[in-house]
Structure 1
């Protein structure tokens, strides 16, 4: 019982530390995510570039202008289409100019 109590306390501490970090703590916000069951067979048949894109989008590692600014590769995080701040969410779902031009498929 003592070992289980110590293990639970340490796990709680790890989750709190992860949640305080912007990039590393993103998985702690998945409580409202849609649950989908993937089998190894499903994963095996996904195109490798699509898997890479999915993983990089989940952890916000796509080269959006906001990330490029944070990584020191660009100076301006502005979207060239609508002049908003170009983040992952902006690119994938909320750029009004891209939506109105039919760029999303």
Structure 2
């Protein structure tokens, strides 16, 4: 719990106030006696915290939420790309149990020794990350020829 207070105090304040609907939206300003009109200046609906953060149809049609979406997507793609070169060896306390038949048990699942993997990308060194962002490369051909439009693709040509 101590780690949360290391975060910038204004971010913590925003998070707490947004959860309890205490941000200064027009609806809250009317409730607090600071304003007379609770409507959104863009679409004239009632402007609540939810409306400001994700529900205003005019803001959606103008692409105002795209910036926030792209920032989150950019961060995710960057973290995945950085992790590409890292391997995660098991910790010293990591134990794999071998049963009488030669199967290995790990995290409650039973696998044979040859199939034991730590993750989906184990044993694959050629995987690539692409994101649906202007500054990133396009998705691989296997995705482009479909009608799918995913935000992030992790692809290995060899698997």
TM-score range, shorter chain: 0.5 to 0.7
Deviant stretches of 4+, over 3 Å: none
Q: 2:46 aligns with which of 73, 82, 85?
A: 85
The 3-state SS of whatever aligns with 2:51 is helix
**TM-score, scaled relative to structure 2:** 0.39
- Indicate how the Cα distance of structure 1 residues 46 and 83 shifts in structure 2: closer, same or farther if over 3 A, else same: same
Count of equivalent residues = 66
1:31 corresponds in structure 2 to: none
CA distance in 2, matches of 1:48, 1:100: 33
Is 2:58 aligned against 1:97?
A: yes
CA distance in 2, matches of 1:73, 1:44: 31
The 3-state SS of whatever aligns with 1:92 is helix
Shift of 1:101: 1.7
Which residues of structure 1 form unaligned runs of 5+?
1-38
**TM-score, scaled relative to structure 1:** 0.57
1:40 corresponds in structure 2 to: 2
Whichever of the two has the greater Rg, that structure is 2
Which residues of structure 2 form unaligned runs of 5+?
69-159
> Over aligned residues, Cα RMSD in angstroms?
1.3
More strand by share: 2
